[in-house]
Amino acid sequence: MKKVFKLYNIFIFLLIIFFIGLSFIYEKEENQLKINTLNKIQTQSKYINEYFLINKAFILSLKNSLLGNLNIDNLVHPAFGKIKNKEKKDIYNILCNVNDIKSTLNGVGSLANIDIDTIQEINSILYLNPLFKTILNSEHDIQWVYYSSKKEFIYIAPTNEVWDKKFLKYLYTKEFWTEAIPSNNPSGELILTKIYDDGAGKGYMTTLSLPIFFDSEFRGILSIDIALKTLNKMINNIKLPGKIYLTNEDDLIISSNQVFKLDEYLDKKHITFSLDLFDNKLKLVYIENKKNKILTILLNILPIVILLLFSLIIVYILMHQVLLIKKIKIIANKDFLTSLLNRRAMMRETIKQLEIANRYNLKMSLLLLDIDFFKKVNDTYGHQAGDLVIQEISKILAKNTRESDLVSRYGGEEFLILLYNTDVDSAYLLAERIRKEILNLKIKGINSSLTISIGCTEYIKDESIDSFINRADCLLYKAKEKGRNQTIKA
């Protein structure tokens, strides 16, 4: 008999499908997350890059205007006449409130000691006020715009604060100056400073500083201050589960969505993406957080996984129902004690086989077997022993027949065997082999020998099944009459 496909095999099979499907879904979502992450990084990198390029354009406009002004002889700005000299403090200053923009020029020294070149430089820088206003009124959240002269004066907006000599000297130690002067920036290029604490009290910031040379002489530095909070806001607009850093070309951290220290350098070991910005002066770096990444992927695929799991559960239930129905059919067709065909199933299957025999002129033979003195076995040894006898004889019948044959428990101690494509002589030989094997059967607890009587006959074409079985039954009856433990054929 064919082995029934076990339910746990289906479960294991579906479990394998689930994990294969889960792996496929996870990998697909991981790739999609990678693409989405890169797209978000690239999109925001364009915005950050544009932000710095516009500020670069601002500072270059200031440079061009300043150099143009320095080329004008005897240039005088109306505010120049308002310079206040504070000899006791060894400083001078101008407070300007033009075009709704507050600005201040603070310088070290005395008016009496200002040379012609310094006067020309002061007037030239005062004419940059409209550009200062444009830059400060832009949507770039610029904190300060200023010019620091080698001659120790600073013109800055937006403020009217007057600084003393000590504070002015202190400002010339800040990064916007020290990192941009020729000794530290011999190429004279535009530089972006590291993060530092603003001397004027606006918190942490970085500065775009551009050295100004006139007639091949270093004159001063134009600067635009950008607050760290502005950069952090741009970085935090990138909604990603990992770590994001904006660094300079030396990997010094400028901004991040993580807490970082001043003068902290980025560890490049675990970088996922890195994009160059602002003429390669900046890098936007992304480092994925593996735990957050896995959690994000799992949350994203959860509905699909639930759907997959639900589908497989439905398949499992359906397969369970199919197997259950199959099992019910098997139980309905089998004798519960011997697992042989029961009488009803035997009759149904025999009719089918006889139809085939009639159509193709095949020989069919029938064996009807009965255990001799079975009632005596039950009375002597009990019904459990009787059941054991029936089971052991059933095993012998199943062992000696082919898969194409039909073997059934026909009733109580009777068995019916239909032998496919078999004539009566061959059937008789089989019947005798079975009878002798049962005669030699030893069952624990039963001391007497077991015998069977068999009726053996061959099918007559177009004969009814009842007639066929009835002839076998008559032959069995003759075997009983002649003393049992024998096979009668006809």
Mean pLDDT (the chain, rounded): 91
Structure confidence at residue 6 as a pLDDT band (50, 70, 90): low
Supply the pLDDT for residue 315: 85
Lowest mean pLDDT among 181-195, 307-321, 363-377, 476-490: 307-321
Supply the pLDDT for residue 345: 94
Structure tokens given for 175: 């990064």
Lowest mean pLDDT among 72-76, 96-100, 227-231, 428-432: 96-100
pLDDT digits (tens, 9 = 90+) for 242-300: 899 999 999 999 999 999 998 899 988 888 889 999 999 999 999 988 888 888 888 88
pLDDT digits (tens, 9 = 90+) for 92-151: 999 988 667 899 999 999 888 889 999 999 999 999 999 999 999 988 889 999 999 999
What value does the mean pLDDT take over residues 4-10? 67
Interatomic CA distance for residues 389 and 373, integer angstroms: 12
More confident residue, 329 or 168: 168
pLDDT digits (tens, 9 = 90+) for 293-318: 888 888 888 898 898 888 888 888 88
Supply the pLDDT for residue 2: 40
What value does the mean pLDDT take over residues 449-463? 96
Supply the pLDDT for residue 5: 52
Supply the pLDDT for residue 64: 97
Q: Please enumerate in sequence order all residues whose Cβ is within 8 A of that of 419, keeping only pairs 6 or more positions apart, or say none.
A: 364, 365, 366, 367, 401, 405, 426, 427, 430
Structure tokens given for 136: 């400060």
Q: What is the pTM of this model?
A: 0.64
What value does the mean pLDDT take over residues 356-378? 95
Q: What percent of the chain has pLDDT over 70?
A: 98
Supply the pLDDT for residue 13: 83
Supply the pLDDT for residue 1: 38
Supply the pLDDT for residue 99: 67
Assess contact for 438 and 413: CB atoms under 8 A: no
What value does the mean pLDDT take over residues 441-467? 94
Is the pLDDT confidence value at 85 over 80?
Answer: yes
Q: Is 49 exposed, middle or buried (0-12, 13-18, 19+ CB in 10 A)?
A: middle
Is the pLDDT confidence value at 7 over 80?
Answer: no
What value does the mean pLDDT take over residues 67-78? 93
What value does the mean pLDDT take over residues 165-187? 94
The identity of residue 435, as a single letter, is R
Interatomic CA distance for residues 184 and 356, integer angstroms: 105
Supply the pLDDT for residue 4: 45
Structure confidence at residue 198 as a pLDDT band (50, 70, 90): confident
Structure confidence at residue 3 as a pLDDT band (50, 70, 90): very low
Query: Going from the N-terminus, what domains does the chain have, and what CATH number goes with each?
Result: 1-333 (no CATH), 334-489 (3.30.70.270)
